[in-house]
Structure 1
Amino acid sequence: MSDETGYNSGAQESGPSGKPGFFSNVFNSGKDRASEAERAAAAMGDAIPGVGEGVWDEDEECVSGDVSAYVHSLEAGRDPWYPRQTAHGALDVMRGFLGPHFSSFQATADRQRKDTEDPNSTTGMASSTMKSSTEAEDFRKASKIRDEDQPRMSEDMQRHLNRAQYRTEGAVLVASGMVGHAVGVALDPAGEKAYVVTDAGKLYSVSLTNYAKREFVTTGTLGSPGGIALDGKGKAYVTDNSGNRLVRVDLANGSTEEVATGVRAYGVKLDDSGKTAYVTGLDGKLFAVDVEKKDAKKLIVDQLGPSTSGAALDGNGKAYTGNWNHVGNLWEVDLLADPPSKRSVATLTRQSGDIALDGAGTAYISDHWGDVLYKVDLTTGAQHVAVKATGNFSALGVALDSRNGVLYVSTWEGQLWRFPLRVLQTPELIEITTGV
């Protein structure tokens, strides 16, 4: 006989002692539900995309077989304490947690049901409850994971995953929503970060592993930046063309100080020692600034054209500059000559902004006016469009991560993009749709 709730108020299940087990139905029901949930968790694997096989084909440079399975295999190799980026990883975590959890729940329900059927049920239940509480507290203390006990991925595995990631991805929008026009970008490969400045006086750091972006707070204003360079020692050098100065930013605490003044500073690059900054001026000049001394600057060459913008160093005594004057001259400056000399390498059809060198005789040059990225042969001056956009892709800052073979481009739209160098070096044109 059942009441409206479905509870059987008549016949009651008897325990081994012959006494009715008043709570048996409760625990049996809980056990049944947990069993059903465990089976559902176990079956979850069948619904996870990528249960087939997929491998990277080095010859074809593409995934052979199930692409989703290949992505799944990459996810499975990651540190489980890192956020997962795909449905595969999320479902794997759920399945790995829920199955054992519900299995444990069933065992607990079984044990508690037997306790209620014991002749000394009241004492047994109280004792069981106290014991269970004590065991739970002991377990909680013993199972607490300290920071030093957190699982870690080996450096070799991290490098392998990074290489696989860079091989398999094409053009990627890394970050967006930066305030102002993202005029300059510099890379810290060791710290796996990019630093981006905007002409609104903002400095951002962007993780190159999970693409997290944060605004960097400085103690002083950066004015209207045009470029940024890193010394590899925790300092960033930012040009302020509205304040005619070069500013140093301590990335550890955000403090700022003026390094040089009286320069219509726009582009900046540091030499390998990190002691000399080469700064372009919007008035067509190139300066060398000793960053270890106050306002120690030296004019290298002038008459580089109006609105001189980006700068690049090849590490062998050559500097390269561009400009915004709708002629887009790319200049090469011989820093070792006495006096330093310059020659025109190429005249781009629109504008040349920032410059990055691949070390193999090619310069990658942004053109925010034409929504393209050029590549220029530094010997012959031959030029080709490497990246073309449908929609706005007003390229401004350019920086190369040579260790991983990736080129980063910041844009007028406040975005940061990434392109694989191996694709840029081919005759193929990268065409992207920005949606902006």
Structure 2
Amino acid sequence: MPDDNSPGNNSSGNDSNSTRDDATTVPGFDNAFNGGKDRAGDAEKSTEDIRKDTPGAGKGDWDEDEESVTGDVSAYVHKLESGRDAWHPRQTAHGALDVMQGFLGSHFKNFQTAADNQRKASENPKTTSGMAASTMKSATAEEDYEQAAKIKEKDQPSINEEVRRQLKGTHYRTEGAVLVATGMSGHATDVAVDPALDKAYVVTDAGVLYGVDLSTHIKRQLVTSGDPNGNLGTPGGVALDGDGKAYITDSTGGRLLRVDLSNGHTEKIAAITQAYGVRLDGTGTKAYVTALNGILFQVDLRQPGEPKKVADGLGTSTTAVALDGRGKAYTGNRDLVGSLREIDLQADPPDNKRLVAEPAQYRSGGLALDGTGTAYASDHWLDILYKIDLTTGKERVAVKTISGAFSPLGVTLDSTDGAVYASTWEGQLWRFSLHVLQSPELIEIKTTT
């Protein structure tokens, strides 16, 4: 038999924390709201006491004819102030006391009423639970709304690579000429472009390889002659294999070098006396190198060894080399007028060379082919970039300066984005719209020295 005082026996009904079905008050809420109501009443009573105990704050009547006061003197004060300029500060406190009586008194009465209503609502368990549920529902709905309003990463606006390229190409078509980079050390002898990385690589005869961001135009020295892992000597040309490697010629050292663009490590691939210009074939396995003594060499990059002589008798100061991708090579000379030659690499022997035009007025120190039978040749003596028809040899001025100096040396084509790049004697890198170059329009530029 359970003990009367055991937890299971509560027959006395004297548990002060029990809840009755017919309850009209809940002690905790009752104390809170009654306390608030009492304090509001005390504040109202204090307001009334201040009014009564303050001279000039009571009620009274002013007799205009008798000029006398019946009741509190405040009536006379009201009379005096009614004639004052409303913008002047009042001299008495009765106005403020009226506000206290008229506003604070009624405010505290309203507070008492609100406290009564709130107490009654809180005593009803259904009401309080409903209020809590409503609050929780509101918070949940707000959270759901915030989550719904967020844009997920997969929903972020984006464009695919092909569209991005098209937009970039459209931009290049309309910009005409842009100075991409300047202030390079030495003369910028050649340039190569990697459209996939949006970068250009420029070599200077001061022995520096620069990487240039084509979007931001920020340049950075990748390799210099003072680097412990590679000395470039006197670079003449640069070409890329598309696999993170650059091939650079050293004319004074008589070398073809391979440079790892990720760390600047440099290694010798072949020995070529007076090596200057360099371009790779479409497979990236063969390099064609010109020498200043007028010889064109071929180097197998898979098994570097003794370079193969392709053609000779190209003229002293032969610098430029370009490949058309259809079995022909073109060489140019930075010092001799009318020195652009075509070499059939598939002929036997391959040095079946043809002079493109004679006599011609241009020098072709750097060359780029646009794939439509046109070459763009640099003439750093006359500060001109020429456009040359490879079939007829007819030339036309495509770019010239109207002020400053523009002495182009290296020239390369970015066929992906439709642009021709030229590096200059002044240590600058320029970009020209291929669309504009292919038109009859002449590009005139202003340069800095």
Please state which band the TM-score falls in when normalised by the shorter chain: 0.5 to 0.7
- Distance in 2, matches of 1:369 and 1:424, equals 21
Give the match's secondary structure for 1:172.
strand
- Distance in 2, matches of 1:307 and 1:150, equals 58
The correspondence of residues 40-119 of structure 1 with structure 2, limited to 5 A, is: none
Q: Do structure 1's residue 269 and structure 2's residue 297 form an aligned pair? A: no
Q: Do structure 1's residue 359 and structure 2's residue 359 form an aligned pair? A: no
Contact kept, 8 Å, 1:238 with 1:268, in 2: the verdict is: yes
Q: Do structure 1's residue 332 and structure 2's residue 332 form an aligned pair? A: no
Which residue number corresponds to residue 394 of structure 1? 407
- Distance in 2, matches of 1:361 and 1:283, equals 27
Q: 2:441 aligns with which of 401, 407, 428?
A: 428
State, as a whole percentage, how many aligned pairs show the same letter: 59
Q: 2:355 aligns with which of 325, 340, 344?
A: 344
Shift of 1:405: 1.0
- The residue identity in structure 2 corresponding to 1:174 is V
Shift of 1:149: 9.1
Contact kept, 8 Å, 1:287 with 1:297, in 2: the verdict is: yes
TM-score, normalised via structure 1 length: 0.65
- The residue identity in structure 1 corresponding to 2:254 is N
- The residue identity in structure 1 corresponding to 2:259 is V
Shift of 1:153: 3.5
Instruction: Evaluate the alpha carbon distance shift between residue 152 and residue 17 of structure 1 in structure 2; reply closer, same or farther with a 3 A threshold.
Output: farther
Shift of 1:211: 1.6
Instruction: Evaluate the alpha carbon distance shift between residue 245 and residue 328 of structure 1 in structure 2; reply closer, same or farther with a 3 A threshold.
Output: farther
The correspondence of residues 274-289 of structure 1 with structure 2, limited to 5 A, is: 274-289=284-299
Task: Specify every segment of 5 or more residues in structure 1 that has no aligned partner in the other structure, as ranges.
Answer: 1-9, 20-141, 143-147
- Distance in 1, matches of 2:209 and 2:155, equals 32
Instruction: Evaluate the alpha carbon distance shift between residue 261 and residue 18 of structure 1 in structure 2; reply closer, same or farther with a 3 A threshold.
Output: farther
Give the match's secondary structure for 1:222.
coil
Q: Do structure 1's residue 415 and structure 2's residue 428 form an aligned pair? A: yes
Cα deviation, 1:265-321, whole Å, max 9, x if unaligned, reads 100000011111000000000000111223331011111000000100001110000
Q: 1:174 aligns with which of 172, 180, 188?
A: 180
TM-score, normalised via structure 2 length: 0.63
Q: Do structure 1's residue 377 and structure 2's residue 377 form an aligned pair? A: no
- Distance in 1, matches of 2:230 and 2:338, equals 33
- The residue identity in structure 2 corresponding to 1:367 is D
- Distance in 2, matches of 1:157 and 1:288, equals 38
- The residue identity in structure 1 corresponding to 2:354 is R
Contact kept, 8 Å, 1:180 with 1:198, in 2: the verdict is: yes
Q: 1:229 aligns with which of 239, 258, 262?
A: 239
Contact kept, 8 Å, 1:393 with 1:434, in 2: the verdict is: yes
Which residue number corresponds to residue 79 of structure 1? none
Shift of 1:404: 1.4
Give the match's secondary structure for 1:296.
coil
Shift of 1:197: 0.4
- Distance in 1, matches of 2:327 and 2:380, equals 28
- Distance in 2, matches of 1:17 and 1:333, equals 106
Root-mean-square deviation (CA, aligned residues, Å) is 2.9
The correspondence of residues 16-31 of structure 1 with structure 2, limited to 5 A, is: none
Cα deviation, 1:56-112, whole Å, max 9, x if unaligned, reads xxxxxxxxxxxxxxxxxxxxxxxxxxxxxxxxxxxxxxxxxxxxxxxxxxxxxxxxx
- The residue identity in structure 2 corresponding to 1:343 is R
Instruction: Evaluate the alpha carbon distance shift between residue 268 and residue 150 of structure 1 in structure 2; reply closer, same or farther with a 3 A threshold.
Output: farther
Which residue number corresponds to residue 243 of structure 1? 253
Shift of 1:206: 1.0
- Distance in 2, matches of 1:206 and 1:185, equals 10
Which residue number corresponds to residue 212 of structure 2? 206
Give the count of matched residue pairs. Answer: 304
Shift of 1:324: 2.2
Give the match's secondary structure for 1:369.
coil
User: Which structure 1 residue ranges, 4+ long, deviate > 3 Å from structure 2?
Assistant: 13-19, 148-153
Which residue number corresponds to residue 403 of structure 1? 416
Which residue number corresponds to residue 159 of structure 2? 154
- Distance in 1, matches of 2:309 and 2:407, equals 31
Shifted more, 277-286 versus 290-299: the winner is 290-299
- Distance in 1, matches of 2:242 and 2:280, equals 10
Contact kept, 8 Å, 1:229 with 1:237, in 2: the verdict is: yes
